[in-house]
Structure 1
């Protein structure tokens, strides 16, 4: 979850996140339960805007990268050849010394400065409306949703996670997420359902219950509302 974006991540994925953009990554239960035959890991680079001095990004040579930084406030999924180039460098960085890492980071900046191979994640309206002083509350709520979406989550329950009353929470949620809590919860559930539907060993009824829907009719109705097609029709689109 990146801002108001809900999606799935996989091997070799690469994202570039601007500052103060709320985000949550949650591994599949196969990994969190220790049943996977390998560990899920990631390479992460954090840097402050002034990590090379207050005026570094203002020099003419950094002009194109400054533009890229401005775009990153929505979060970006890097794609194609750009992703492959940067991933090769990232995997080498843990074995490098400090100066080598810094040099490689600048090389990555250079690659990003000229690429158009990316998709935005959060919507522009989310970034415009998001209140930074609400970020901790946002994190707690999104983490709770991701860990419990397959169960019933009542409004009083989720409001207590945010340390708010129900009425205040509903207003907060609609302002920050641009949809109601129920609409957002259903979107998370449908996103998970799409993943499960791609695994053909599960039937539609099993998928519905695994995603937190207590009856098939409601699952079909909500799925069609989000995806404009039935779960069965969606599964057919996955057949190559």
Structure 2
């Protein structure tokens, strides 16, 4: 599936964008942009794709995404053909990484915000009380201007950094760079995995990168990544495979090989375990067009 880079117009006297989408909101095109984006669905149901994640949205759905993370929202057929009895509606906030200047995020008070922005590179689905509070603030922002609107955006940041009511959507293998502020040791391990996941990485090799014995490394890895090294690297490989399935016409065997799997049967097994569908089914899912969706 072809990915396009999308840009939205911004008022010259505003540092970030807040707007409301009505009707068949969101382009039915797999796309990305250099801005962070917070999307609140206020009316509609359908299917959303964020990176290699495929999920479903309903009224109140709230997702926060980092720059250049491919995504698309597709309304259910009843909203596309006018049979829903209501118009699809969403509120969207977009801001560039340097919208407050290239040094503002480096001040000590923004440390937790920097961490949050790093997490958003995989897409965050926000729920619970945090979602309710942010939804109220986003609705109010539509009628605001100037400093009031900026202050409300900071209130949203404050709510996000104080909550654990979210889940990361896209797998770590789908993104090209990790921005989480871990220790140097974890940075080295993560960078080594990201650079070499398409070949065999032994436990001895990766433990050496971390400067640990194999047994110690296994305990360390499980504590920090919440899964074993083998589970993690398979998740990354599947994430990269999803990227290839979405963005290229490579056959399944070639996708498996380029993702670090030397055995097609093992690739299919691992893919189904992570994505709950086969690679072929995944490719068919992401190739659904507005025309075919309307016919469902």
C-alpha contact 1:2 1:22 (8 A) present in aligned 2 = yes
TM alignment of 1:192-231, pairs within 5 A: none
Q: In 2, are the aligned partners of 1:43 and 1:91 still within 8 Å (CA)?
A: yes
Distance 1:35 1:170, change over 3 A: farther
Moved over 6 A (4+): none
Q: Which of 4, 9, 17 in structure 1 is aligned with 2:57? A: 9
Unaligned residue ranges in structure 2 (runs of 5+): 1-48, 177-193, 195-241, 260-266, 272-277, 288-294
RMSD of Structure 2 on Structure 1 (CA): 3.2
Aligned partner of 2:175 in structure 1 is 127
Structure-2 change in CA distance of 1:167 and 1:86 (3 Å): closer
Question: TM-score, normalised on structure 1?
Answer: 0.58
Deviations 1:166-193 (A, max 9, x none): 55897469858x967514136669xxxx
Partner of 1:118: 166
Quick one: structure 1 residues 12 and 174, their matched pair in 2 at CA, closer, same or farther if it must change by over 3 Å?
farther
1:28 aligns with 2:126: no
> More strand per residue: 1 or 2?
2
Aligned-pair distance for 1:79? 1.0
Once residues 96 and 5 of structure 1 are traced to their aligned partners in structure 2, the CA distance between those partners, rounded to angstroms, is 33
**Counterpart mapping for 1:49-198 below 5 A:** 49-128=97-176, 166-167=249-250, 171=254, 182-185=280-283
Q: Contact 1:173/1:181 (CA < 8 Å) preserved in 2? A: no
Give the whole-Å Cα distance in 2 for the aligned partners of 1:174 and 1:40: 42
TM-score (norm 2): 0.48
Native 8 Å contact 1:86 1:108 kept in 2: yes
Task: Note if contact 2:252-2:280 (Cα within 8 Å) is conserved in structure 1.
Answer: no
CA–CA distance in structure 2, aligned partners of residues 33 and 107 of structure 1: 38
List alignment gaps of at least 5 residues for structure 1.
130-137, 143-161, 190-209, 212-240
The number of residues matched between the two structures is 161
Maintained 8 Å contact 1:64/1:114: no
More helix by share: 1
In 2, Cα distance between equivalents of 1:60 and 1:92: 29
Q: From the superposition, tell whether residues 171 and 60 of structure 1 become closer, same or farther in structure 2 (CA, over 3 Å).
A: same
CA distance in 1, matches of 2:141, 2:132: 15
CA deviations over 1:189-210 (Å, ceiling 9, x no partner): 9xxxxxxxxxxxxxxxxxxxx8
